[in-house]
Amino acid sequence: MGRFLVTGGAGFIGSNLAEALCLRGDAVVVLDDFSTGKTENIGHLLDRLTLIEGSITDLATCRQAVADVDYVLHQAALPSVPRSVADPVASHNANATGTLNMLVAARDAGVRRFVYASSSSVYGDAPTLPKQETMTPMPLSPYAITKLAGEMYCLSFHRLYGLGTLVLRYFNVFGPRQDPASEYAAVIPKFVTQFLRGQSPVIHGDGEQSRDFTYVDNVVDANLRACAAPDAAVGQVYNCACGEQTTVNELAAVLRELTASTAPIRYGELRPGDVKHSWADIKKARDVLGYGPRVNFREGLEKTVAWHQSNRGH
Residue 249 resides in a domain: no
pLDDT of residue 196: 96
Cβ pair 75, 42 in contact under 8 A: no
**At 228, which CATH number?**
3.40.50.720
**Predicted pLDDT at 1:** 76
Comparing CA positions, the residue from 10, 5, 16, 122 lying closest to residue 72 is: 5
pLDDT tens-place string over residues 290-299: 999 999 999 9
Mean pLDDT computed over 96-110: 98
Tell me the mean pLDDT in the region 14-33: 98
Let me know if residue 290 belongs to a domain: yes
What share of the chain in percent tops pLDDT 90?
92
In a domain, 205, yes or no: no
Q: Is residue 314 part of a domain?
A: no
275 within a domain of the structure (yes/no)? no
Burial of 33 (0-12, 13-18, 19+ CB in 10 A): buried
Does residue 228 belong to any structural domain of this protein? yes
Residue 36 inside a domain? The answer is yes
| 151-155, 183-187, 221-225: least confidently modelled range | 183-187
Per-residue pLDDT at 271 exceeds 90: no
* pLDDT exceeds 90 at position 63: yes
- Interatomic CA distance for residues 13 and 2, integer angstroms: 20
Q: Would residue 267 count as lying in a domain?
A: no
pLDDT of residue 275: 83
Q: How far apart are CA 252 and CA 201, in angstroms?
A: 8
Q: Tell me how long the chain is.
A: 314
Instruction: Provide DSSP, 71-136.
Output: EEEE------HHHHHH-HHHHHIIIIIHHHHHHHHHHHHT-SEEEEEEEGGGGTT-S-SSB-TTSP
Average pLDDT over the chain reads 96
In a 10 Å sphere around its CB, with 0-12 CB exposed, 13-18 middle and 19+ buried, how is residue 25 labelled?
exposed
Gap between the terminal Cα atoms of the chain: 34
Q: Record the pTM.
A: 0.96
pLDDT at 247 over 90: yes
pLDDT score of 313 = 55
Q: What domain range includes position 13?
A: 3-174+214-243+280-295
Is the model's pLDDT at 314 over the cut of 50?
no
Q: How many domains does the chain have?
A: 1
Q: Is residue 45 predicted with pLDDT exceeding 50?
A: yes
Please tell me the distance from the alpha carbon of residue 261 to that of residue 173, in angstroms, as a whole number.
23
| Beta bridge partner(s), residue 27 | 3
Task: Note the pLDDT tens digit of each residue in 188-239.
Answer: 999 999 999 999 999 999 999 999 999 999 999 999 999 999 999 999 999 9
The arithmetic mean of pLDDT across residues 116-143, rounded, is 95
